[in-house]
């Protein structure tokens, strides 16, 4: 949600900032803007809409060596030109871009900005106006900014220009992500490394409540009281090619296809030199010594957690509860005596999950993050971390992170109970091969999507046991990118009400991977067929029948969610494609949801 890019150097900044913003498009946004400072003053271009539109309104004749840019996902005020960033103080001296939410904006307006006319509906403008106010009262700009930051409550990543000082960009961070990129004769700042990796792979991490002054040849980091902080550079692990689409038409398709490779990478990263499963003993002990695991997550990560709960209980005999973050934080259940909290999050930045983390840390409980992003907020703030090794996931619809989450949880479950009979490394290798075969069968999914999903209003996924969890994720995928109203249902539950929605030709997609429920789900298929449903069946080979349209190669019964999800991801992809949807950037959605 929201993306920031800033650059100061000796070259014209426009292309660097615009292409940096394009790299942040995946985060989700509805408006964009850029400010460039040069000898003739500050030039702002901004509007509702995509970067492609911003490119049309930017005056490429105006050159400048200092600039800031922004993609906005509206929270305060409609997505329109006035509310788009950059925002300015009323004298136009200070211009800034912001990611986050200023929670005490009303209080700040009342206390400090009486009589100041704000142009926009945003919380962000308050920050610009306050910096101006304190500067007008005689504080040096740097002090005025730091003082403003001490008064703000909420989350922010800020990049600020002072028109009277063309040699620096001020930046600050609290809870929202921000990285500083160190270059040769330039420095940059951005919401994540993807926006900078084409220019540098040397970064400074800015921590919460830190402030930095970035000039062409220097980066100085301070706390909010002005004490300088020494920070080492770290080298980005990102490969520039990881964030390109290559020959793929969409990131989502590329990321679906990457899944066999991701599973193999997980196998490589979670084994020791003797070829045994490896997870840090401290993590194993922490989970073992708990009396219950609480999984906390949102969206797709929650759905992966459902499969993870099954693995932890079946393989490791570890009692596990799973909760949606946004519910858990305000309605906490009675906890066990010695809980451990596992936060599953692709981005590691999800505000709902972080809110739970803050709460359970205050209560003194141990916490473990399962995330794809090293150095993300959840990664930094938890006691223990396990990485997904999925590589950057750019499409808003999560695919490879989902299967990576389940695979890492399967490894964790095996390590907690080493006497388990499951040879997880071998079983995961089989999974990777089966995934590959499924990904090679795209024509089938495209044909089915065209036939069943190209003009339907709604759709149902039904399954039992772990297949029900797969159905929840499959339904989320289909609805988020194709906008078909889709529900995932426990197949046996349909007859208790929802079957009333089945009409002639309503698509019902059944997932069957478990022998124990094979016949039950097939009975439920007959029930919906009798009411006119158009049924697609996805079945595991060893329990399949000739009438099943999609057959999945055999894998260990615990690991079927890793493979049964692949056809559903591809059905969603092709349904969205044939309906003309914006697959990588579905409407109203953001990749990392940094507001509660
Ligand atoms: C997935 O396709 C979604 N876009 C969304 O549900 C996502 O999984 C959710 O917002 C959680 O994100 P996280 O894994 O980064 O915490």
Residue with the two structure tokens 């889709």: 486
Q: Do domains 3-241 and 246-255+271-426 have the same CATH topology?
A: no
Beta pairing class for 66-72 and 3-8: antiparallel
Mean pLDDT of the chain: 95
Residue 398 Cβ inside 6 Å of ligand 1? The answer reads yes
The pLDDT-based confidence of 15 (bands split at 50, 70, 90) is: very high
284-333, pLDDT tens digit by residue?
999 999 999 999 999 999 999 999 999 999 999 999 999 999 999 999 99
Torsion, Cα of 563, 565, 571, 575 (10° steps): -160
CATH number of this structure's domain 3-241: 3.60.20.10
Structure tokens at 131: 């910096």
**What is the longest distance spanned by two Cα atoms in the chain?**
81
Structure tokens at 591: 């990749």
Provide the pLDDT for residue 62.
87
Provide the pLDDT for residue 375.
82
pLDDT at 239 over 90: no
The secondary structure of 509-564 as a DSSP string is: EEEE--GGGHHHHHHHHHHHHHTT-EEEEEEEGGG--TT-SEEEPP--GGGHHHHH
**What is the rounded average pLDDT of the residues 129-134?**
97
Residue 270 sits at the vertex; the CA angle it makes with 266 and 272, to the nearest 5 degrees, is 140
443-459, pLDDT tens digit by residue?
999 999 999 999 999 99
Residue 290 Cβ inside 6 Å of ligand 1? The answer reads no
The CA–CA distances, whole Å, from 511 to 383, 399, 453, 490 equal 37, 18, 17, 10
**What is the rounded average pLDDT of the residues 151-178?**
94
pLDDT at 596 over 80: no
Q: Could you tell me the sign of the dihedral formed by the alpha carbons of 92, 94, 100, 103, in that order? A: negative
Provide the pLDDT for residue 306.
98
Instruction: Provide φ and ψ at 362, rounded to 5°.
Output: -60, -30
C-beta separation of 313 from 414 below 8 A: no
Q: Which of 384, 385, 428 is nearest to 406 (CA)?
A: 428
Residue 267 Cβ inside 6 Å of ligand 1? The answer reads no
* Closest residue to atom 4 of ligand 1, CA basis: 397
412-447, pLDDT tens digit by residue?
999 998 777 889 999 999 999 999 999 999 999 999
pTM listed for this prediction = 0.85
* C-alpha neighbours within 13 Å on the C-beta side of residue 88: 16
73-121, pLDDT tens digit by residue?
888 888 899 999 999 999 999 999 999 999 999 999 999 999 999 999 9
259-273, pLDDT tens digit by residue?
999 999 999 999 999
168-177, pLDDT tens digit by residue?
999 999 988 8
Domain 246-255+271-426 class in CATH: alpha beta
User: Which residues, 6+ apart, have CB-to-CB distance to 233 below 8 Å?
Assistant: 182, 202, 203, 204
* Closest residue to atom 9 of ligand 1, CA basis: 299
CA 398 to ligand 1 center in whole angstroms:
6
**Could you give the 3-state DSSP secondary structure of residue 300?**
helix
**What is the rounded average pLDDT of the residues 186-215?**
94
CA 207 to ligand 1 center in whole angstroms:
24
More confident residue, 593 or 167: 167
Residue 205 sits at the vertex; the CA angle it makes with 19 and 126, to the nearest 5 degrees, is 70
The pLDDT-based confidence of 466 (bands split at 50, 70, 90) is: very high
CA 344 to ligand 1 center in whole angstroms:
10
208-236, pLDDT tens digit by residue?
999 999 999 999 999 999 999 999 999 88
CATH fourth-level superfamily of 441-583:
Glucose-6-phosphate isomerase like protein; domain 1 (3.40.50.10490)
C-beta separation of 46 from 85 below 8 A: yes
Residue 480 Cβ inside 6 Å of ligand 1? The answer reads yes
Cis peptide, bond prior to residue 111, ω within 30 of zero: no
Domain ranges of the chain: 3-241, 246-255+271-426, 441-583
Distance between CA 461 and CA 508 in Å, rounded? 6
Percent of the chain exceeding pLDDT 70 equals 100
Provide the pLDDT for residue 236.
83
Residue 346 Cβ inside 6 Å of ligand 1? The answer reads yes
Beta pairing class for 458-463 and 507-512: parallel
Provide the pLDDT for residue 526.
96
């Amino acid at each position: 949600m929201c993306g920031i890019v800033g650059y100061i150097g000796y070259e014209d900044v426009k292309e660097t900032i615009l292409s940096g913003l394009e790299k942040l498009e995946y985060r989700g946004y509805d408006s964009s803007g850029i400010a460039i400072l040069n000898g003739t003053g500050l030039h702002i271009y901004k509007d509702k809409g995509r970067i492609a539109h911003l490119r049309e309104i930017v005056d490429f004749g105006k050159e400048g060596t200092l600039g800031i840019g922004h993609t906005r996902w509206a929270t305060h005020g409609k997505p329109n030109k006035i509310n788009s960033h950059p925002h300015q103080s009323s004298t136009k001296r200070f211009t800034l871009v912001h990611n986050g939410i200023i929670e005490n904006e009303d209080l700040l307006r009342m206390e400090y900005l009486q009589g100041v006319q704000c142009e926009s509906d945003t919380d962000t403008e308050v920050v610009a106006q306050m910096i101006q106010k304190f500067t007008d009262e005689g504080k040096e700009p740097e002090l005025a900014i730091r003082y403003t930051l001490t008064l703000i409550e909420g989350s922010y990543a800020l990049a600020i220009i002072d028109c009277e000082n063309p040699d620096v960009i001020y930046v600050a961070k609290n809870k929202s992500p921000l990285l500083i990129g160190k270059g040769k004769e330039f420095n940059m700042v951005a919401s994540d490394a993807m926006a900078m990796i084409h220019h540098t792979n040397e970064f400074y991490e800015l921590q919460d409540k830190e402030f930095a002054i970035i000039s062409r040849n220097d980066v100085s980091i301070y706390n909010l009281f002005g004490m300088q902080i020494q920070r080492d550079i770290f080298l980005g692990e990102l490969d520039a090619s990881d964030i390109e689409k290559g020959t793929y038409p969409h990131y989502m398709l590329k990321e679906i296809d990457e899944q066999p490779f991701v599973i193999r990478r997980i196998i490589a990263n979670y084994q020791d030199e003797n070829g045994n499963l490896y997870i840090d003993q401290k993590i194993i002990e922490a989970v073992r010594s708990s009396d219950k695991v609480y999984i906390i997550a949102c969206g797709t990560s929650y759905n992966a957690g459902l499969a993870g709960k099954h693995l932890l209980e079946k393989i490791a005999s570890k009692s596990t509860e799973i909760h949606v973050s946004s519910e858990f934080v305000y309605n906490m259940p009675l906890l066990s005596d010695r809980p451990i909290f596992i936060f599953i999050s692709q981005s590691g930045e999800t505000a709902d999950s972080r809110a739970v983390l803050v709460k359970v840390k205050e209560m003194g409980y141990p916490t473990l993050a399962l995330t794809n992003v090293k150095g993300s907020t959840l990664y930094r703030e938890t006691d223990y971390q396990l990485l997904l090794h999925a590589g950057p996931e750019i499409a808003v619809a999560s695919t490879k992170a989902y299967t990576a989450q389940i695979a890492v949880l399967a490894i964790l479950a095996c390590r907690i109970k080493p006497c388990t009979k499951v040879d997880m490394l071998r079983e995961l290798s089989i999974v990777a091969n089966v995934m590959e075969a499924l990904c090679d069968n795209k024509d089938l999914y495209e044909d089915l999507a065209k036939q069943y999903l190209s003009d339907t209003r709604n759709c149902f996924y039904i399954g039992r046991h772990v297949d029900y969890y797969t159905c929840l994720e499959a339904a989320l995928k289909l609805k988020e990118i194709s906008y078909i109203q889709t529900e995932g249902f426990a197949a046996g539950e349909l007859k208790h009400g929802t079957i009333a929605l089945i009409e002639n030709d309503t698509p019902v997609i059944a997932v069957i991977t478990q022998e124990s429920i094979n016949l039950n789900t097939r009975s439920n298929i007959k029930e919906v067929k009798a009411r006119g449903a158009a049924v697609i069946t996805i079945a595991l080979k060893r329990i399949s029948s000739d009438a099943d349209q999609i057959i999945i190669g055999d894998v260990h019964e615990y690991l079927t969610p890793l493979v049964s999800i692949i056809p559903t991801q591809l059905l969603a992809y092709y349904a969205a494609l044939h309906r003309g949807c914006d697959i990588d950037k579905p409407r109203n959605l953001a990749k990392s949801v940094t507001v509660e």
